[in-house]
Chain A
Amino acid sequence: MDKDLFRAHHDLGGVSKFLCEPIDKEPHILTDFDREVDAIRQVLAAKKLMTTDELRRGIEAIPEEDYHRLSYYQRWIRSITDNMLRRGVVTEAELRAALEGQ
């Protein structure tokens, strides 16, 4: 069926290449990075600076190879950054300056 149907790469229901993959049921403790990204997303949402749909659009726009390579919250920070740039909340110049200052 997958052959006949165009699927965006985040649309994983029934996708055959994962059907034989075992599920990693081990608990994975969230890192400080994870918690911080999660919290920033919530604060931005509460301030009406980003919606769930914008977050999803940003995640779904990540190229397939990166999508599967990045961790869950690594996708989120990429989407958050993308959305802050699109909305003009931050500029590329400001971000580059902050990255250079690290």
Chain B
Amino acid sequence: MNLLETDSAALLAAVRRVLIAKGVLTDAEIADRIAKTEQASPALGARMVAKGWLEPDYRALLLEDGTKAAETLGIMIRGAPPLGVLENTPLVHNLVVCTLCSCYPRAVLGYPPFWFKSAAYRARAVRDPRGVLAEWGTLLPDNVRVRVVDSTADYRWMVLPQRPAGTEGWDEAQLAAIVREGDMIGVTVPDGARLREKTLYPER
């Protein structure tokens, strides 16, 4: 039997055991890497978005060099491909997909969500982006151009959504709290109803 067709759990256990026995890696290195990976989450990207909404200089840096903008906030991107940031405007809405696999700006958004890796999303996002957006309840006016951007192994993208109305005077933490994972991929936009609820009931 082809070794690679072995049951995946058994294969993982065997590969891990051999790699450790040969001194290639250690249990501690694996545990440490899992812990580090779990620290990255959409909250990091949300901080970048909120800061970009508040500070024109930071917004310019975001759009010019996403990697540098992340590192300015102490988010380490080293070793990962460059990060590009796509700005939504009243006339252009950006949607990010990786048609070939699952390329994702993990340093700033964490693990990619399940649906981002699915065949349906990867196939449909480039052919019927408005239909895909509608599955999230995101309905854009006809005059808004939808731009679909394919993330690759060599370049990762996140979306800078538009700051919603009704957030005047909010500070960075308040703004960051309303930015969701999907807003930074482009399947959703920061949501007015949710926003009011957050303001009224911040603990939820």
Contact = CB atoms under 8 A, between A and B. Distances in A.
Interface in A31-86: 33, 35-40, 42-47, 49, 52-53, 56, 59, 66, 68, 70-74, 77-78, 80-82, 84-85
Contacts of A15: 119, 123
Interface of A is mostly: helix
Interface size class of A (residues with CB under 8 A): 35 or more
Contacts of B22: 89-90, 94
B122 interface: yes
B122 A12 contact: yes
Contacts, number: 160
Contacts of B79: 45-46
Point out which of A18, A27, A46, A92 has the most chain B C-beta atoms below 10 A from its C-beta: A18
Given A39-B37, A42-B37, A43-B29, A78 B16 contact: no
B151 to A, nearest CB: 12
Interface of B: 3-6, 8-19, 22, 24-25, 29-31, 33-34, 37-38, 79, 97, 99-102, 111, 113-115, 117-128, 132, 135-136, 150, 153
